[in-house]
Amino acid sequence: MSEKPPPYNPNVGPHATAPPPTYAAATATAYQPPGSSTTFVTQTPSYGTIPIVVQPVPVPDFVCINGCPACRIGVLNEEFTLGGLCCAFWFFPIGILCCLAMKERRCANCGAIFS
C-alpha cells in the first residue's frame, strides 16, 4: 500500500481512441427470440423521465347580483316606466300594484333594457 496510483491522463489507456459515448443518440432494441422474424424495433430510451399531469384550474362560478347579462360589466338599475307611473296616479289604490309590476331594469354601462 505504499505505492502511489498512476497519474490520470485521459489520452492513455484502452479507450483512448474511442470517441466519448453520446447519450442523446442511443437507441434500445427490443429482444427477439431465436427463430422469429428479423424485424427489429428501436426506440429512444427515456432516462428516468417523470410524466407530468397538468390539471386545469377550476374557475370559480359566482353570480353577480344585478349584473348585466349583455355586457357583464354594468349594474342593472330598476326604473319605473311612464305607463306604470300614470297607472299609479290615475288608478290610485290598484295603480300602485300596476306601477310595481311594470318596472324595467336598465344597464348603467351599455344601456340595455330588461323588463
Domain residue spans of the chain: 76-114
- Who wins on pLDDT, 115 or 41? 115
pTM over 0.75: no
Nearest to 83 by CA among 100, 58, 106, 59: 100
**pLDDT single digits (tens) 7-40:** 776 665 555 555 555 555 455 555 556 655 555 5
| pLDDT tens by residue, 76-114 | 889 999 999 999 999 988 999 999 999 999 998 888 888
